Structure 1
Amino acid sequence: MEPVFMLGKFTKVIDYFSDMGVPPQTVEPLSTQFKLLSLNPSDILLAQGSQQDYGFFIMSGILRACHYGENGLERCKEFYFKDELCFLYSSWLQGLPARYQIEAITAVEVIRIPLNLLALPSFSQAKVTLLQQQLIFKEQKEALLLLHTPEQRYQHLLQYWPHWLAKLNNIQIASYIGISPVSLSRLKARIKS
């Protein structure tokens, strides 16, 4: 049995799944499979090219999914913040090696959750909810990148995700909205004046 203090740490995960329709009494016994991890900036949770077996519920800090090309080019797919469940949906659904690396960009505390739980019949509603959320988010990101100018993309972050701007540096923000850090600096200066 998990010590009481650990079960207390896992309460947020139990509540997270409960909000998706999985009763706490279903999740609590499975919490023995959860593991609390503390990471430093640049620590890797999932290496690019590895098989993905776990998702990571973020208690504190920021994670990112990033692809590293052979020429050293870095492409940031996504950032993940507190109270989010981080994993690569496509790799998980297809059972393929990860095309992205999941890594800490700040000091992070996460709860590692086996993704095989989502295959259990008792987690089917959570699986559907997660897939719906991911589809909506993916469509929104595609629209942001394809239908808007760089200035509109930045304005979108200002309006809807100001916590991103407060916690990420210019290089990270520029990479996400598809412009260079120099272009971002110019854009920010233009918006201020």
Structure 2
Amino acid sequence: MHSQTFNFFFKFFKNLDVETETIEKAGSKLKLMELESSQVLLHQGESQLYGYLIISGVLRACYFSDIGSERCKEYYFQGEMSFLYSAWLTNSPANYQIDTLKPSKVIRIPLEILNSKGWQSAKLNLLKQQLLYKEEKEVFLLLKNPEERYLHMVKYSPIWLGRLNDVQLSAYIGISPISLSRIKSRIKKTSKEFKNLT
């Protein structure tokens, strides 16, 4: 593996308090993958063996029903690790499919690494991050109206707005693309009126 790629992996797990020697020993188990758009990394119903540290691109976790409808529960961006926590912790089949939304470059990491002794700090820190993120997402979905959700993303998740189209963004917010378009128009109009007053 190229040293620059390994350094990306190294820094990610060093920030999760894993010892240098422990991280270096994992190098031979990693695989760099350069992926096209819509490439499946984990099929719904399969056992999950790997997580994917994103160097570039966008991954997503989606549920596909028997009638072909699609519900995306999460998007993953550069510097994030994509895998399903519940499938990992319970060793159960994946409820969602993980695939690439855009051409992506990732480091494939065997999840068995995170269950080994030297990686417990990483496991604990990842679980802490996930718990906080889930609580923030509950506030986002339950305590904010659609316009507040959109404004929250404008302020705190601008990368989402740059990488996702209106159909994907509106589905995540929980509204139709038409409703999102109306919200954008209303905000734009309000912003212009405010500027005219100042």
**TM-score, normalized by length of structure 2?**
0.93
Match of 2:128 in 1: 132
Match of 1:148 in 2: 144
Root-mean-square deviation over aligned CA pairs: 0.9
C-alpha displacement at 1:118, in angstroms?
A: 0.7
Counterpart residue identity of residue 5, structure 2: K
Q: Give the paired residue count.
A: 189
| Distance (Å, rounded) in 1 between the aligned partners of 2:13 and 2:83 | 15
Deviations 1:137-180 (A, max 9, x none): 01111111111101011011001001110111001101111111
Answer whether contact 1:33 1:114 (CA < 8 A) is retained. yes
Match of 1:186 in 2: 182
**Counterpart check, 1:94 vs 2:94:** no
C-alpha displacement at 1:44, in angstroms?
A: 0.5
Deviations 1:78-109 (A, max 9, x none): 11000111100011001111111111011000
**Counterpart check, 1:177 vs 2:173:** yes
C-alpha displacement at 1:71, in angstroms?
A: 2.0
C-alpha displacement at 1:190, in angstroms?
A: 1.0
| Distance (Å, rounded) in 1 between the aligned partners of 2:124 and 2:116 | 12
Match of 1:14 in 2: 10
C-alpha displacement at 1:43, in angstroms?
A: 0.5
Answer whether contact 1:7 1:31 (CA < 8 A) is retained. no
Work out which of the residue numbers 145, 155, 158 in structure 2 matches 1:159.
155
Answer whether contact 1:61 1:106 (CA < 8 A) is retained. yes
Gaps of 5+ in 1: none
SS in 1 for 2:33: strand
> Where do 4+ consecutive residues of structure 1 move more than 3 Å?
none
Answer whether contact 1:15 1:24 (CA < 8 A) is retained. no
Counterpart residue identity of residue 128, structure 2: Q
SS in 1 for 2:180: helix
Counterpart residue identity of residue 138, structure 1: K
Work out which of the residue numbers 10, 30, 34 in structure 1 matches 2:30.
34
| Distance (Å, rounded) in 2 between the aligned partners of 1:122 and 1:169 | 40
C-alpha displacement at 1:8, in angstroms?
A: 2.8
Gaps of 5+ in 2: 190-198
